[in-house]
Structure 1
């Protein structure tokens, strides 16, 4: 391998999935030792095995402290552009009683620790990811954001997970375009500072950020946002004139305000919202909805004439009934419709009692995906045939069938469908237990 060009060796070493191997490579030869300091990327994660060995009386003295390993890796590294450190997800299974309350060996957002290595590599750093150990970080408020903003002047991407963050002393970071905060404790005023001090964000991921009461996102350049609101805030507001892709999961906010006129792809999970205020989605093409009250939610949408693809379901089998007529009244230009198990069941029940009226929009539909958890064969066939009679341009129908229906029943259902409507391409699949129903 030493025969390879030095630049190729550096590239290979930079792609190691576990940079702990980098230290071992330094022992192989002088060439490897020299080139190892030119790597552009370091990835180091504490595994559950390493964690347990560092705690066991018979092995803890044989394990080099995790923070020491990181310091050794970045020491004298002049070309680092990406650093990703943290604890493996498997440590999330550690019981609280097994953790020493005062330990800080895996408290990775500790400013004192980060000061030891970050300033030395900050000049070239483009990407930084820190995934902390929640048991050691949740009760210690960290000012690591202030340190990062003060020395990383060319940082483009930042991820911080499993920590309690302070925004005191935060400096503007105009180069930062991607920010991920996952399982982070913040306050409303802290999120406001994120808006102000990271003004050029194009990608924002807020996953399980707790402590927010009336959170607001106000970012002019934002294009992609994934926001999972972990508590039940009074209101949720997003102002993003250039936002194109939005995934939003809320529990039950009193109001939801969206000023996102450029939105094209929208995934919304929502129990209900007393107020749902939008100024219209003139460019919305792909919409995914999940709610216990789908009927009321879709009726709260402004005109959905631009929507081409719609996926909808409820997390519970019991929900407010809704009909396909309502769907096509709000979204008359659908070409693709995906109904989860609960949504299909409720639509079929409504059909049994009320029938299925024709809608102009149904003539545009080309593909349906239906998830079936139960089958009353006569009623189900009648419902499917009625849909096909109304949807004259439908060319593909996919049946995702749950195992409790049984293979023979499913096979007979599909066979009868194919015989009755040979013009349609029929697809079907027996789902496995536990597979998602949307």
Structure 2
């Protein structure tokens, strides 16, 4: 390996999945020892197996403390542009009783620890990610954001996970364009400071951020946003004039206010909102809606004429009168419709009790994907009614739950193909928590 050009060796070292291997490389030869100091990326993950070894009486003395490994690898490496340190997700399943109450060996947002190495490398960093150990960090309020803003003036991307954060002393970071806060404890005034100190954010991910009562995002340059709200805030507001892509999951806010005129891709998962105030979405093309009451949620949209692709599903099976007729009244120009198992069941039940009037917009539909939990002979009449109304339909995929035996599922597709050969039929299989499996059907 020493015979390779130095730039190639450095590139190989940068691609190591576990940067702790750098320590071993340094022992192999002087060349590797020297070139290892030129790496620009450090990625260190504390695994569950390492955690168990560090707690077992027989192996504990031989395990180097994780903080020591981090410090040794990053200290004085001024070429670093990206640092990612954290604990494996599987450690989140460890019970509090299995961890010493005062232990801080994996408390990675500890300001005292980070201050040992960040001042030396912070000036050149473009990306920084810290995923803490929740059991040790949840009761310690960290001012690490203040430390980062003091030394990382060129930082473009920041991720902090599993921590209780303070914004005391936070300084503006105009270079930062991407921020991810995952399973973070914050207060409303803290989020206000985030808006103020990170004004040029283009990407914002807030995942399971708790402690917020009336959160507001007000970012003039925001382009894409993922926001999953773990609690039930009184109100939730997004003011983002350049926002194009938004995924918002919330339990049950009393008020939801969206001022996002350029939005084109929107995923909204919402139990219900007493007030849902939105200005027009003149550019909205792709929409996904999830709710326990799809009728109520859909009726809140002022206009859906620009929407071409729509995905709908019900979080809980609840007969609310959701049907094709009201769907196409609001979204008359759909070319693609994807119905989750709850939405399919609701629409099918409505059809069996009241029939289907049909809307002009159904004639423009080109593709349908439907998720079925079960079916009987009545399902055929529902499918054939769809085909009668969607005269320009070219593709239809039926994704059938795994508990339905294969011969029965194949029979359904065969009958559909025989009844309507103009449509390209596709069968899939689904089960909760796994990826869909697509099944090849004989022609």
Task: Provide TM-score, normalisation by structure 1.
Answer: 0.98
SS at match of 2:249: strand
SS at match of 1:27: helix
SS at match of 2:116: helix
Partner of 2:71: 71
Partner of 1:184: 184
What is the alpha-carbon distance in structure 1 between the residues aligned to residue 196 and residue 91 of structure 2? 34
What is the alpha-carbon distance in structure 1 between the residues aligned to residue 20 and residue 60 of structure 2? 18
Contact 2:400 2:429 in 1 (8 A): yes
Q: How far 1:318 sits from its partner (Å)?
A: 2.7
State yes or no: 1:314 paired with 2:314.
yes
Partner of 1:256: 256
Larger mean Cα displacement after TM superposition, 55-64 or 149-158: 55-64
Larger mean Cα displacement after TM superposition, 229-238 or 385-394: 385-394
State yes or no: 1:35 paired with 2:66.
no
Query: Over residues 51-93 of structure 1, what are the superposed CA-to-partner deviations in whole Å (9 max), with x where a residue is unaligned?
Result: 1111222221111111111111012212000000011111112
State yes or no: 1:86 paired with 2:78.
no
Query: Over residues 289-327 of structure 1, what are the superposed CA-to-partner deviations in whole Å (9 max), with x where a residue is unaligned?
Result: 110000111111111001000001012223423111111
Query: Over residues 132-180 of structure 1, what are the superposed CA-to-partner deviations in whole Å (9 max), with x where a residue is unaligned?
Result: 0101100000000000001100000000000000000000000000000
* Unaligned stretches of 5+ residues in structure 2: 437-443
Contact 2:324 2:358 in 1 (8 A): no
Partner of 2:232: 232
Contact 2:291 2:315 in 1 (8 A): yes
- Aligned residue pairs: how many? 436
SS at match of 1:269: strand
What is the alpha-carbon distance in structure 2 between the residues aligned to residue 416 and residue 118 of structure 1? 65
Partner of 2:440: none
Contact 1:143 1:165 in 2 (8 A): yes
Contact 2:293 2:318 in 1 (8 A): no
RMSD: 1.1
What is the alpha-carbon distance in structure 2 between the residues aligned to residue 160 and residue 388 of structure 1? 49
What is the alpha-carbon distance in structure 2 between the residues aligned to residue 19 and residue 319 of structure 1? 53
What is the alpha-carbon distance in structure 1 between the residues aligned to residue 192 and residue 431 of structure 2? 44
Partner of 2:242: 242
5 Å matches for 1:108-123?
108-123=108-123
| C-alpha distance 180-433 of structure 1, shift in aligned 2 (>3 A) | closer
Partner of 1:290: 290
Larger mean Cα displacement after TM superposition, 385-394 or 25-34: 385-394
State yes or no: 1:338 paired with 2:314.
no
Q: How far 1:402 sits from its partner (Å)?
A: 1.0
5 Å matches for 1:2-401?
2-377=2-377, 379-401=378-400
Contact 1:304 1:330 in 2 (8 A): yes
Larger mean Cα displacement after TM superposition, 317-326 or 90-99: 317-326
Q: How far 1:434 sits from its partner (Å)?
A: 4.7
Contact 1:407 1:430 in 2 (8 A): no
What is the alpha-carbon distance in structure 2 between the residues aligned to residue 48 and residue 301 of structure 1? 46
Partner of 1:419: 418
| C-alpha distance 210-433 of structure 1, shift in aligned 2 (>3 A) | closer
What is the alpha-carbon distance in structure 1 between the residues aligned to residue 144 and residue 319 of structure 2? 45
Query: Over residues 226-268 of structure 1, what are the superposed CA-to-partner deviations in whole Å (9 max), with x where a residue is unaligned?
Result: 0000000000000000001100000000010000001011011
Contact 1:403 1:433 in 2 (8 A): no
What is the alpha-carbon distance in structure 1 between the residues aligned to residue 402 and residue 48 of structure 2? 36
What is the alpha-carbon distance in structure 2 between the residues aligned to residue 426 and residue 374 of structure 1? 18
What is the alpha-carbon distance in structure 2 between the residues aligned to residue 3 and residue 112 of structure 1? 42
Larger mean Cα displacement after TM superposition, 313-322 or 354-363: 313-322
Query: Over residues 326-367 of structure 1, what are the superposed CA-to-partner deviations in whole Å (9 max), with x where a residue is unaligned?
Result: 111100000000001111111011111111112111111000
* Unaligned stretches of 5+ residues in structure 1: none
Contact 1:292 1:319 in 2 (8 A): no
What is the alpha-carbon distance in structure 2 between the residues aligned to residue 431 and residue 122 of structure 1? 46
| C-alpha distance 278-433 of structure 1, shift in aligned 2 (>3 A) | closer
Provide runs of 4+ in structure 1 moved above 2 Å. 403-409, 430-437
Contact 1:241 1:259 in 2 (8 A): yes
Q: How far 1:411 sits from its partner (Å)?
A: 1.8
Q: How far 1:130 sits from its partner (Å)?
A: 0.2
What is the alpha-carbon distance in structure 2 between the residues aligned to residue 433 and residue 283 of structure 1? 33
Q: How far 1:435 sits from its partner (Å)?
A: 3.9
Task: Provide TM-score, normalisation by structure 2.
Answer: 0.97
What is the alpha-carbon distance in structure 1 between the residues aligned to residue 307 and residue 121 of structure 2? 47
What is the alpha-carbon distance in structure 1 between the residues aligned to residue 117 and residue 432 of structure 2? 47
